[in-house]
Homo-oligomer: A and B are copies of this chain.
Amino acid sequence: MASHSSKIKKGWNGPKELKGLPIEDSFRSHGIPLEKVKKDETEFSVLKNWLESYELSELLDAEFKPIPEILDILPEKDLRMGMTKHGNGGAIAKELILPDLQIYEYSSFEPAKEYASSMGRLGEYLRDVIKLNPRNFRIMSPDETESNKLHSLFEVTDRGYMWPVPFGSENIGPEGRVMEILSEHTLQGWLQGYTLTGRHGVFISYEAFMMIVASMVDQYSKFLKQSDLISWRSPVPSMNIVLTSNAWRQDHNGFSHQNPGFISSVLNDQCNKVNVHFPADANMLLATMEDCLRTKNMVNVIITGKRELPQYMSIQEARLQIKSGINRWVWAGNHDSDPDVVFVATGDYMTQETLAAIKILKEIAPEMRTRFINISELTCFGIGDNRNLCRISLREFRELFTADREIIYNYHGYPEDIKHLIYNHPDAHRFHIKGYVEKGTTTTPFDMVVQNGTDRYSLAIEAIEYASAVNNEILIKKGTLQKQLEDILEKHRHFIKEHGEDIPEVTEFKL
């Protein structure tokens, strides 16, 4: 025990022992060492003697208030521990200087004709955020900056690295603003410390990996909820989390890397501190990121693919959509004003599949009337939920979703997320929710959506079913149309086994 004598002992500042057994510096100090204090005289006197050893009568006056000598020791306002600039970082936080988004905009294109990697574009934007804010902005990432397509960052900064730089290394150095370490727990802790002290940051991870820090994010949103109640606490820059390399494109890593559970976990949070964004394309990702970087005291989660995907909106249109998080894309539907069936999508890959279903239907059944709605934010869409964040009335709801048509909702994550958000809404029964239903493996990109029932052909087959109930022309052709699509799915199943890649109908498809 000698080696312990120079340290502070476990259970120091408590009774030293009870009935010959040690409390201080033993396991008992981390339990309830005096459990029977109300009944056992020995325990009672041990407690009494210990409490009296503080000689409280010397410190308090007759009314049990601290004596003036004690009150005099208390530090002044800003010197109090929680009120120092280190403890109340929001008070010294500087707004980020953000570059003009127009610089990064894809402009002058028709919707869905050009392709880009959202993450690639984000890399260029964040590169310039670093350039403009060299001292108060950092990126956290578990060694995935390159694989998440953010290589542009290394045009202006390094990975932070304090030791001598090894031979053959690239983009590392002591001034680096990109913090890479293969520990999501450490990164989450760093980001909390960094934002709580008034600086800004973005955590970028593979979607499936974030689940391992779901509990830390829970605790942090609880902290934010409570800190709102403290009048003198200044709000701190938000925690921004970008999840990419998601379940729908894990062609090589497979089942273990498919897990949208973090989204479910934060949507379950009832602290009103979390927004989850699903930008449909690169311009919308940029507008979303700009918006998030300006918020305070929030946990902003952004879900985005990193592969080449169709581009739909200008920056201006994107800014408009993120105000409500819901948008009807009139150009995407077919006779959108009075549809037979309504399609909804959330998430970029799901948006692409759903638009492909609509395109196919336009070709094989031009008399079928369809509408497309993109939902790019959850919690704001919390219709009927107990967060009261629903921003649309029933009248507006039915203008968007019609008063009586069936709604096919293609969702990025677990369908359960949407189920509990729209539960109790009077029109909930019209929603048919598709999503990730744990059918994953190492397979082709298109087979992932087929296995989970979120693919264009399955969506179209289901839409024909609903449309046939209200559109007689579709009713007549229903069997033929559905068979035609089922045949392609059947071909797909054989083709991928033989060729190890997707059918040409998919790989050569253009929206």
Binding site for B on A (CB under 8 A): 1, 21-22, 26-27, 30-32, 143, 146-147, 166-170, 211-212, 214-216, 218-219, 222, 225-226, 255-256, 259, 261, 264-265, 267-271, 386, 414-417, 419-420, 422-424, 428-429, 437-438
Contact = CB atoms under 8 A, between A and B. Distances in A.
8 closest A-B pairs (Cβ-Cβ)? A270-B438, A419-B423, A419-B420, A416-B420, A211-B215, A212-B215, A22-B168, A420-B420
Given A27-B169, A423-B419, A423-B420, A259 B143 contact: no
A267 B414 CA distance: 11
A261 B424 CA distance: 22
B270 A437 contact: yes
A440 to B, nearest CB: 8
A200 to B, nearest CB: 26
Interface centre among A170, A219, A226, A270 (most CB of B within 10 A): A270
A256 B423 CA distance: 28
A419 B416 CA distance: 9
A26 B168 CA distance: 7
A250 to B, nearest CB: 13
Contacts of A222: 255-256, 438
Contact of A438 (B26, B225, B255, B259): B225
A218 B259 contact: yes
Contacts of A264: 264-265, 268
A146 B32 CA distance: 10
Given A31-B147, A386-B437, A424-B429, 20 more contacts: A22-B167, A26-B166, A26-B168, A27-B170, A211-B215, A212-B216, A218-B259, A222-B255, A226-B255, A264-B264, A264-B265, A264-B268, A265-B265, A267-B416, A270-B414, A270-B437, A271-B438, A386-B415, A419-B424, A424-B428
A5 to B, nearest CB: 14
B437 A218 contact: no
Which of A218, A219, A419 has the largest number of chain B CB atoms within 10 A?
A: A419
Contacts of A147: 31-32
Contact of A219 (B256, B270, B416): B256
Contacts of A226: 255
A166 B147 CA distance: 50
A347 B383 CA distance: 28
Contacts of A30: 143
B168 A416 contact: no
Contacts of A265: 214, 261, 264-265
A26 B256 contact: no
A436 B270 CA distance: 9
Contacts of A437: 270, 386
Nearest to A436: B270
A21 B261 contact: no
A147 B30 CA distance: 10
A416 B268 contact: yes
Nearest to A172: B27
Contacts of A429: 424
